[in-house]
Chain A
Amino acid sequence: MDGYLGSYATLGILLLVAGAFFAVAYTANRLLRTNAPSAAKSTTYECGLDPAGGDWAQAQIRYYVYAFLYALFAVESVFLFPWATVFDALGMITVAEMGVFVAVLALGLLYAWRKGVLSWTTA
């Protein structure tokens, strides 16, 4: 369990063990419990009218902007990791480089804020 792939192999084995634990637990549950299905048990337990149609509801388009801003800043934060490793070698220059990058992206956030994208209640 050493070398480059070795450390990932440990992770992989942990993953397998976790999966096996899950499978064993549920199989044991299934084997040990009593099982007597009937039609009445699978109907909805709810007073009032029977539900009509599917369970799907269309999402509001404005959720999309939040999702999009999240994706944007996920991309930005990904660049921060390599930046952190060279930051001490190059010093202030990389601070400026990253500063420009983050500032331009922050401009997008500023734009969103001023346009009222971030406040929910003005709709």
Chain B
Amino acid sequence: MNPALTGVLADGGVTTGEAVTFWILAPIALAGAIGMVLLRNAVHSALSLVLTMLSLGVFYVLQAGPFIGMVQIIVYTGAIMMLFLFVIMLVGRNTRDSLIEVLRGQRVAAILLGIGFAMLLGTGLARGIGSIPAVGLAEANVNGNVEGIAKLLFTRYIFAFEVTSALLITAAVGAMILAHVEKKPGEKMDQKVLSRARFEKGNYPGPKAGPGVFATSDSVATPALLPDGTFTERSVSKVVPARELTIAEARPKAVNGSKEYGAIK
């Protein structure tokens, strides 16, 4: 297929292009990884992880593994990171780590042990493979990288491949168990039931709040929520109640399902 693909690295050496790209991207990858740990905003954290993953994808391509490089970019930076961001949006962007350590000295111990482990593995690997030239790349990629992978995946590792589908379906079913409430046959509400419920006593029949708004109503009498969940009185107009509504109607409406004003802390 692509004879050039095999030639460059056949002797196991490192070409200038590879070295230059590595020294540009390696600091970026590291910065992304460090940023992911240190940044306080979870979204920024996730985005710096994307940076690391993209750099890793380029590294794979550099090392004559274009398929795994593309998979890294499509699946990890695409799909998996999207899941990450979804989770962050679910949990709350403003949710920060508490700085209280449950086990004393855990943080320091974790950092020290982590650095120690990295150094041990790094020096060990440098000693173990530093001088050994890469072999077998030319044979592995003889018909192109993708075909080389396909040849293994669909012959010798076919059982592992098929069993992966069991893994994926378990994950899918698990996600649905944890995130989806199944409606029972009788529970499905039709238009009539819904509109009845809407005009029932105690409900404010005005238009509902838009999606994503943290309130059950966008009536002007509904106070806005501050980020800590408390109401801001300033957001309720002082003029409306006196002119048009009875006192009961003018009471600030319940938010987020609670019946009583101010029930949310």
Query: 1/0 per position for B11-40, CB-CB distance to A under 8 A?
Result: 000010110010000000000000000000
Q: Does B193 contact A (CB under 8 A)?
A: no
A107 in contact (CB, < 8 A): yes
Interchain CB contact (< 8 A) of A75 among B67, B75, B166? B75
CA distance A58 to B64 in the complex (A): 42
Known: A74-B74, A78-B71, A108-B173. A53 touches B165 (CB 8 A): no
Assess A59 versus B90: contact at CB under 8 Å? Given A5-B8, A71-B83, A85-B150. Answer: yes
Contact of B8 among A3, A60, A81, A122 (CB under 8 A): A3
Query: Judging by beta carbons under 8 Å apart, are B224 and A117 in contact?
Result: no
CA distance A97 to B61 in the complex (A): 28
Contact status of A122 and B214, CB under 8 A, knowing A72-B172, A108-B169, A111-B176: no
| Residues of chain B contacted by A64 (CB below 8 angstroms) | 83, 86-87, 90, 175, 179
Q: Does A32 contact B (CB under 8 A)?
A: no
Q: Are A4 and B180 in contact (CB under 8 A)?
A: no
Report the interface size for chain B: residues with CB under 8 A from the other chain: 68
A26 to chain B, nearest CB (A): 21
Q: Is B206 among interface residues, defined by CB-CB distance under 8 A?
A: no
Contacts of B134 in A (CB 8 A): none
Contact A75 B212 (CB under 8 A): no
Which residue of chain A has its CB nearest to the CB of B1? A85
Within 8 Å of chain A (Cβ to Cβ): is B171? yes
* CB contact between A101 and one of B2, B67, B147, B161 (< 8 Å): that residue: B161
A57 within 8 A of B: yes
A49 to B166, alpha carbons, bound, how many Å?
Answer: 54
6 closest A-B pairs by beta carbon, nearest first, are A82-B150, A57-B212, A108-B172, A71-B79, A104-B165, A59-B89
- 19 contacting pairs across A/B (C-beta < 8 A): A4-B7, A4-B64, A5-B8, A59-B86, A62-B179, A64-B86, A64-B87, A64-B175, A70-B79, A70-B82, A71-B80, A74-B74, A74-B79, A79-B153, A81-B67, A83-B150, A94-B154, A101-B162, A108-B173
Name A's B-contacting residues (CB within 8 A).
2-9, 12, 49-50, 52-54, 56-65, 67-72, 74-76, 78-79, 81-83, 85-86, 90, 94, 97, 100-101, 104-105, 107-108, 111-112, 115-117, 122
Inter-chain pairs besides A3-B7, A79-B153, 7 sampled, C-beta below 8 Å: A49-B234, A59-B212, A67-B86, A85-B147, A86-B154, A97-B161, A117-B180
Binding site for A on B (CB under 8 A): 2, 4-9, 15, 17-18, 21, 61-62, 64, 67, 71, 74-75, 78-80, 82-83, 86-87, 89-90, 92-94, 144, 146-147, 149-151, 153-154, 158, 161-162, 164-166, 168-169, 171-173, 175-176, 179-180, 182-183, 188, 211-214, 224-227, 232, 234-235, 237
